[in-house]
């Protein structure tokens, strides 16, 4: 009797174990399946519309052929400016938090706030920049778009800079201090150099993050049907053009949207893989 009950129990436990293992396998296949499906459709739809004219012609009016030149240039210009604004602030703030005030109250508070900003809804950032820049200036502009993107860059760079500087061994700092190197010089010449790969990774990840951002640009940079590099005027960007074109009823526009989507995805994934390989080599 007891043996039979034991055997039944054993069989039940084995069944349950195998069931759980099967479910785990299925869950992994489910997750990977979406990646394959999304990238597959993207490549299939995007490659079809990929041609030289995508890079040489501006966005077309409804119902005619054209390219994405102005949107690509607008995206590059705003992303560059955003990185130029956001990176120095991010690196300096991360430096303070790792080197000067690792445990003081200001750093603890800002660390918390930075983590919140890191995952805050990006559309709220757009509203913020609209309130402080677009509304007072009276018009949408490329500057406002770049500032909105910079606000997204900062927390990413702060986080990686701080993490990477914290990883620099204290013995290096002590060695520098023992030969009389002032702290600022120690940070710039020793700590930055030791943490360089990690900090660059952070910047690359930040670029990857903002090159696909749409929500904060919708009502800061708005959009522009025409060629424009005037930062003080509404500026087109690839994500916003995709948004507009994909939701339109025109087939040419939808096709361009897919092509633009492929371009963005290749850029973003390329940047993240590059960033990953930078840190992988280091460790």
Which of 198, 125, 122, 134 is closest to 160 using CA atoms? Answer: 198
Nearer to other proteins, 73 or 187 (CB): 187
Nearer to other proteins, 12 or 56 (CB): 12
CA–CA distance, 127 with 238 (Å, rounded to integer): 20
Q: How far is the CB of 93 from other proteins (least distance, A)?
A: 4
Q: How far is the CB of 110 from other proteins (least distance, A)?
A: 5
Nearer to other proteins, 56 or 182 (CB): 182
The CA angle 106-80-155, to the nearest 5 degrees, is 20
Q: How far is the CB of 57 from other proteins (least distance, A)?
A: 21
DSSP assignment of 206-235? HHHHHHT--HHHHTTT---SS----TTS--
Nearer to other proteins, 77 or 241 (CB): 241
Q: How far is the CB of 162 from other proteins (least distance, A)?
A: 10
Handedness of CA 235, 231, 204, 100 (dihedral sign): negative
Burial of 245 (0-12, 13-18, 19+ CB in 10 A): buried
Q: How far is the CB of 56 from other proteins (least distance, A)?
A: 23
Nearer to other proteins, 22 or 61 (CB): 22
CA–CA distance, 252 with 254 (Å, rounded to integer): 5
């Amino acid at each position: 009797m007891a043996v039979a009950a034991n055997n039944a129990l054993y069989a039940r436990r084995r069944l349950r174990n195998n069931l759980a293992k099967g479910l785990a396998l299925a869950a992994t296949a489910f997750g990977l399946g979406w990646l394959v499906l999304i990238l597959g459709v993207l490549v299939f739809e995007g490659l079809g519309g990929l041609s030289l004219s995508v890079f040489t012609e501006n966005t077309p009016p409804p119902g005619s052929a054209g390219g994405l030149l102005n949107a690509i240039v607008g995206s590059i210009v705003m992303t560059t400016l955003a990185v130029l604004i956001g990176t120095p602030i991010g690196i300096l703030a991360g430096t303070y938090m790792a080197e000067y005030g690792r445990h003081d109250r200001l750093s603890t508070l800002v660390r918390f706030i930075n983590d919140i900003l890191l995952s805050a809804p990006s559309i709220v950032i757009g509203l913020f920049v609209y309130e402080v820049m677009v509304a007072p200036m009276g018009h949408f502009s490329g500057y406002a778009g770049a500032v909105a993107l910079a606000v997204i860059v900062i927390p990413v760079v702060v986080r990686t800079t701080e993490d990477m500087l914290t990883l620099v061994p204290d013995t290096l700092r002590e060695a520098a201090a023992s030969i009389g190197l002032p702290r600022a010089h120690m940070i710039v010449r020793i700590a930055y150099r030791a943490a360089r790969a990690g900090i660059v990774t952070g910047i690359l990840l930040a670029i990857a993050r903002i090159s696909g951002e749409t929500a904060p640009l919708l009502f800061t940079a708005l959009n522009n049907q025409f060629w424009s590099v005037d930062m003080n005027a509404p500026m087109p960007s690839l994500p916003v053009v995709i948004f507009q074109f994909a939701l339109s009823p025109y087939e040419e526009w939808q096709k361009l949207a897919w092509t633009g989507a492929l371009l963005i995805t290749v850029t973003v994934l390329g940047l993240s893989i590059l960033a990953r390989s930078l840190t992988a080599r280091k460790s």
